[in-house]
A and B are shown apart, each in its own frame.
Chain A
Amino acid sequence: MIDVERLEKHYGSFVAVDDVSFTAAPGEIFGLLGPNGAGKSTTIGCISGLLEPTAGRVRVLGKDVVVERRAAREQLGVVPQEMALYEDLSATENLRFWGAAYGLRGSTLTTRVRDVLATTGLADRAKEPVSQYSGGMKRRINFGCAIVHRPKVVLLDEPTVGVDPQSRVRLFEMVKTLVADGTTVLYTTHYMEEAEQLCDRLAIIDRGKLIANGTLEELRGQVGERDLLQLTGHFDAAAVEQALGAVDDVEVVQVEPDALRLALRDASSRLPALFDALTTAGSEIRQTTLTEPSLETLFIKLTGKELRE
Chain B
Amino acid sequence: MSRMALHAAAKDLSRQAKDPMALALWLGIPILIGALITLAFGDVGEAPPRAKLLVADEDGSFLSELFVGLLAREELRVLDSERVPLDEGRKRLDEGEASALLLIPEGFGQAVLEDTPSELELVTNPAQSILPQIAEETLRVLVDVVFYMQRIVGDDIRGIVDEMGGLEATPSDEEVTRISVAVNGVFRRVERYLLPPVLEADTATDAQAPSVDVSVLFLPGIVLMALLFFATGLSEDMWRERSMGTLRRAVSAPGGVGGLFAGKLMAGVVIAGVLALVLMAIGTFYLDLPWRVLPVAVVWCAVTGGVLLVLMCWIQMATRTPRAGQILTNAIAFPLLMVGGSFFPAEMMPKGLAAVGRFTPNGWSVAQLKDLLLERTAPTELLVPLLGMLAVGLLLFALASRTLSKRFARAS
List the interface of chain A (C-beta within 8 A of B). Answer: 48-51, 70, 73-74, 76, 78, 80, 82-89, 93, 97-98, 100-103, 129, 145
A84 x B254 contact (CB < 8 A):
no
Partner of A97, one of B11, B18, B252: B11
21 A-B Cβ contacts within 8 A?
A50-B252, A50-B410, A70-B254, A73-B253, A76-B252, A80-B248, A82-B412, A84-B244, A84-B245, A86-B15, A88-B19, A93-B11, A97-B8, A100-B4, A100-B7, A101-B7, A101-B8, A101-B253, A101-B259, A102-B253, A103-B254
List the interface of chain B (C-beta within 8 A of A). Answer: 3-4, 7-8, 11, 14-15, 18-19, 244-246, 248-255, 259-260, 410, 412
CA–CA, A97 to B249, complex, Å? 12
A73 x B254 contact (CB < 8 A):
yes
CA–CA, A80 to B249, complex, Å? 8
Known contacts: A93-B14, A101-B4. The answer to whether A85 contacts B246 by CB under 8 A is yes
CB distance from B5 to the nearest CB of A (A): 10
Contacts of A76 in B (CB 8 A): 252
CA–CA, A88 to B16, complex, Å? 9
CA–CA, A227 to B394, complex, Å? 66
CB distance from B73 to the nearest CB of A (A): 71
CB distance from A208 to the nearest CB of B (A): 18
A50 x B7 contact (CB < 8 A):
no
CA–CA, A88 to B19, complex, Å? 9
CB distance from B340 to the nearest CB of A (A): 32
Contacts of B4 in A (CB 8 A): 100-101
A86 x B252 contact (CB < 8 A):
no
Q: Nearest B residue to A51 by beta-carbon distance? A: B410
B248 x A83 contact (CB < 8 A):
no
Q: Nearest A residue to B4 by beta-carbon distance? A: A101
A89 x B15 contact (CB < 8 A):
yes
Contacts of A86 in B (CB 8 A): 11, 15, 244, 246
CA–CA, A48 to B260, complex, Å? 17
Contacts of A83 in B (CB 8 A): 244-245
Contacts of B252 in A (CB 8 A): 48-50, 73, 76, 78
Q: Nearest A residue to B412 by beta-carbon distance? A: A82
Contacts of A50 in B (CB 8 A): 248, 251-252, 410
Contacts of A73 in B (CB 8 A): 252-254
B245 x A85 contact (CB < 8 A):
yes
Contacts of B11 in A (CB 8 A): 86, 89, 93, 97
CA–CA, A58 to B251, complex, Å? 17
A84 x B248 contact (CB < 8 A):
yes
CB distance from B383 to the nearest CB of A (A): 34
CA–CA, A50 to B412, complex, Å? 11
CA–CA, A48 to B226, complex, Å? 40
Known contacts: A86-B15, A89-B11, A89-B15. The answer to whether A101 contacts B255 by CB under 8 A is yes
CA–CA, A78 to B250, complex, Å? 10
4 closest A-B pairs by beta carbon, nearest first, are A84-B245, A84-B249, A100-B7, A48-B252
CB distance from A161 to the nearest CB of B (A): 14
Known contacts: A76-B252, A101-B7, A102-B254. The answer to whether A84 contacts B246 by CB under 8 A is yes
